Structure 1
């Protein structure tokens, strides 16, 4: 490389043999990856619980965003190599990136319960923020690592290799730490008009880290070696391919001799070396065709698997795990497994004399990803067994709570079904057709009372009954259940079984005054916690502590006694809390991470080894493109399948990957490995012989020059 093509910093100090400038680049990468993965960790929950989109639409937008993040690296590479250079491209797109993160933080400040909020405006802000982030993170992706490599001299090959290891470590460290922290920030409560999950903080901290990343990178400007743009090899490759296709169809007549390869039709305009290099690149890119299916499954960790975790129990004893924190299992396992696989597994396979070639490793990685989704499907089946059945259109549910001290005989009219409810007991929710549930007749011995049911305004009801001294007392409450409580929260309500009115507070929530047998409205409470309860009955205050709540349940707490230090509370589960533990997701994460180690790491190494020296960036862009296409596949499959059961969708994705895995195995069987260095050396030798043939004196001049050395 000519010195004129490189701008040197005024001072290029070294630290432990490394250019000091690379430390600015490593810190920049750590902060940027913290910003990206931190924001992405909570993104699908932001869509579902803040913007109130359903699971399918939330998943679709999530994968559209990820696809954009892996399409824009091509744009970033073109800008850097053909126009601005790496440094200016990183700075410019980092500014765009920071603005995008800030817009996301602003878009989540108000909550959906604010009636003055313009929902369309805030959705537009969110989408604008995501587009800017995709442009920023994708645009700088191909530039930062290459810019770091540019800082080393030719004799610092060992230091350059170690730099890339440190660089990769900073990526995983940023990802791991942010995926732990941002879900904790999200779980905090904040808000202007009402209390809500604190998405402004969960997005604001990544925005701040991106700003820090930009400042740190600019701070090292005077030390950087800045290579000026030399033209993009991807553009030359595309032009060569385009000319070959155009020239081939232009000369379709038989008078033109056939070429050994269709790319040879570009020989009229492009040199033999570029054509040979393009052939090698296309040979590898052809193998890339089945690979997007792996990423279609892999990137669902942040969408479907995170949504699956919201229906599970996150109580790990000493700590409560948020659903989006389960994504940390992947980077933790990566840090553990990469050295184990390299130092233990591969040597053992080699000792067993098994030829575990790179393409065979990739095939195994795809197969393991399919198995991970089979495991996810089996887990989903177990989760579905614990989910309650809610009334569909034309159906109604009713629960009876007997607060009295004798048996109650209950008849549902006009259905005429009868049920006996024991003292201080309750029925589960009983399902009826709406036309078969118009009223409830309650009998305590010879006394009876009727309670009319309005199935038009609500389809889920609770009736409390009691044989008081003044006769039968009853109270009807519409429950309005349509699904389990969201985000692993619990719904809690109280029933007053005391002969006087009571005032109830639980935690920071006031339930107000309840008459005898009255039922309060439900209020949400975070899972895995206990809360202080204050019951005021006349001049008596009772202050019991609630039982530890689970995740995703609904509870009715009956107040049976409140006198002095004696408080009797009875808990009724209206909706069973999540009973399948999040730890059961670890096997599917483990299998998928095993697949990632043998697929992703091997794929990058294989691409590097099979690429010509000046076209490694082309294959890097092609590799990133497979990730983008994989996320597009999720959109297509999930949208076209119309499967109502989530476990069935997991099985569908697994089946598709198994089929693609077989196709790739066949393609790999017929692939012939090449050594680009040997091919290029052979081309150089042929070119040299050609020049000698054209100028016989050239050989003599070379021999003379050698003898004088």
Structure 2
């Protein structure tokens, strides 16, 4: 809905709408670090989720008001402000929700239940996404309001109302939660530990070297902090190749939507809207999560790909295959002169591959990040995982801005080649983990 609002109502080009869409997502994920700092150092996860959800609702409200024509508000200004507030709110919420849920379990005694929770958590996210992608395009196109043939205010306003209801439900359960207090300024403590180790190592460079460079911080910092920082840095090295995967994954809402807009959405008596075809993603995710324990995990075990890092590697490769499919489809569309001749169903193969990739990378990554993180750094490591998604959107923005390719098909193939190389690097790092 957003990319069509930007292009059809506000007059942005497809490239400009793509850039703004991914910049909004980028800031949302980048601000996860700030959310983690607030949660771990000041408010705790519960209050951070509560307060920044209110900021998110303010953003949705601004977006809705800007889309109401009779109010004659500056739509561009309200849209940018709304997207900013949404980014800040989402950035604060994202690193806390999964880790707050994880806090309700005792590890390692309830490790199996914890793994089930993360699958259920991702299931609920995609159930919400399924409803959103199903309903909002209908509200956008089929409902007429304020004297216009479309109704973007309703498409933006309904999620705001549902978010208010969700916060009320969240509050009602507050007495049942295990609410852990903030553990102190973790990010600052980690930074100080690293700085002390680097500075001391330089000062003692002529002396006998220690087993690990972080051991040079032992005189000024607690042994447990040094051990925790070692763990964090090892995991962060694994994250380095992942932004490119999310550069591919997040284009479902931009480049693939614009691709669908040039295709035929008629399927029997049902007409699929371009921004509605994305419904395939949450629908298949819901089905695959339900089949995870009875089908997917046994198949992966049979293929000797049951370890978390192996699953992530396979997911990255499947994302590349998805973009090869989208590139081949784009090539076919480039030689067809008649508009909207190809059926939207031709996008199904690329969606199947990208959804399998998302399941293998995102769900596994959430579980892995929480399990590997020291107790005091759960939200911080979750935020770093989400930060890779933000950096992925930076890649999309840069490539769209540079306009390297004249043909969209070449851009899709370019992303596929990049992610294949990227996964080779990831596998090399994972082998050393």
SS state at 1:374 partner: helix
CA shift, 1:195, in A, is: 2.2
CA deviations on 1:564-616 (whole Å, 9 max, x unpaired) are xxxxxxxxxxxx44110000001000011122222222333333444434433
CA deviations on 1:218-250 (whole Å, 9 max, x unpaired) are 344555554332314333222211221232334
Identify which range, 43-52 or 340-349, moves more after superposition.
340-349
- Output the CA distance in 1 between the equivalents of 2:408 and 2:108: 55
CA deviations on 1:488-535 (whole Å, 9 max, x unpaired) are xxxxxxxxxxxxxxxxxxxxxxxxxxxxxxxxxxxxxxxxxxxxxxxx
Aligned to 2:332: 382
Match of 1:83 among 37, 42, 53: 42
CA shift, 1:65, in A, is: 0.6
CA contact (8 A) 2:328 2:409 kept: yes
Q: Which runs of 5+ in 1 are unaligned?
A: 1-41, 388-575, 673-709
- Output the CA distance in 1 between the equivalents of 2:306 and 2:116: 26
- Output the CA distance in 2 between the equivalents of 1:214 and 1:230: 24
Higher normalized helix content (fraction of residues): 2
CA contact (8 A) 1:368 1:595 kept: yes
Aligned to 1:239: 192
Pairing 1:648–2:410 present:
yes
CA contact (8 A) 1:152 1:160 kept: yes
CA shift, 1:107, in A, is: 0.8
Pairing 1:170–2:129 present:
no
SS state at 1:372 partner: helix
- Output the CA distance in 1 between the equivalents of 2:422 and 2:230: 24
CA shift, 1:203, in A, is: 0.3
Aligned to 2:62: 103
Q: Which runs of 5+ in 2 are unaligned?
A: none
CA contact (8 A) 2:305 2:311 kept: no
CA shift, 1:86, in A, is: 2.7
CA shift, 1:333, in A, is: 1.1
Aligned to 2:241: 290
Match of 2:92 among 139, 157, 161: 139
Aligned to 1:281: 232
- Output the CA distance in 2 between the equivalents of 1:132 and 1:621: 18
Paired residues for 1:327-342 under 5 Å: 327-342=278-293
CA deviations on 1:36-74 (whole Å, 9 max, x unpaired) are xxxxxx111111111111111111111111111112222
CA contact (8 A) 2:52 2:92 kept: yes
- Output the CA distance in 1 between the equivalents of 2:162 and 2:39: 24
- Output the CA distance in 2 between the equivalents of 1:152 and 1:657: 35
Q: Provide the aligned length of Structure 1 versus Structure 2.
A: 432
Match of 2:24 among 37, 41, 65: 65
CA shift, 1:163, in A, is: 5.2
CA contact (8 A) 1:189 1:195 kept: no
* Higher RCO (CA-CA < 8 Å; seq separation 6+): 2
Aligned to 1:198: 151
Match of 2:271 among 311, 320, 327: 320
CA shift, 1:342, in A, is: 3.8
- Output the CA distance in 2 between the equivalents of 1:308 and 1:191: 28
Pairwise CA RMSD:
2.6
Match of 2:427 among 665, 678, 681: 665
Q: Name the larger-Rg structure.
A: 1
CA contact (8 A) 1:368 1:594 kept: yes
- Output the CA distance in 1 between the equivalents of 2:305 and 2:30: 35
SS state at 1:368 partner: helix
Aligned to 1:522: none
SS state at 2:275 partner: helix
Pairing 1:181–2:132 present:
no
- Output the CA distance in 2 between the equivalents of 1:341 and 1:383: 35
Check 1:76–1:201 CA distance in 2 against 1; reply closer, same or farther (3 A cut): same
Identify which range, 335-344 or 234-243, moves more after superposition.
335-344
Identify which range, 615-624 or 59-68, moves more after superposition.
615-624
- Output the CA distance in 2 between the equivalents of 1:350 and 1:202: 43
- Output the CA distance in 2 between the equivalents of 1:235 and 1:618: 11
CA contact (8 A) 2:118 2:366 kept: no
Structure 1 length-normalised TM: 0.57
- Output the CA distance in 2 between the equivalents of 1:145 and 1:358: 18
- Output the CA distance in 2 between the equivalents of 1:270 and 1:305: 50
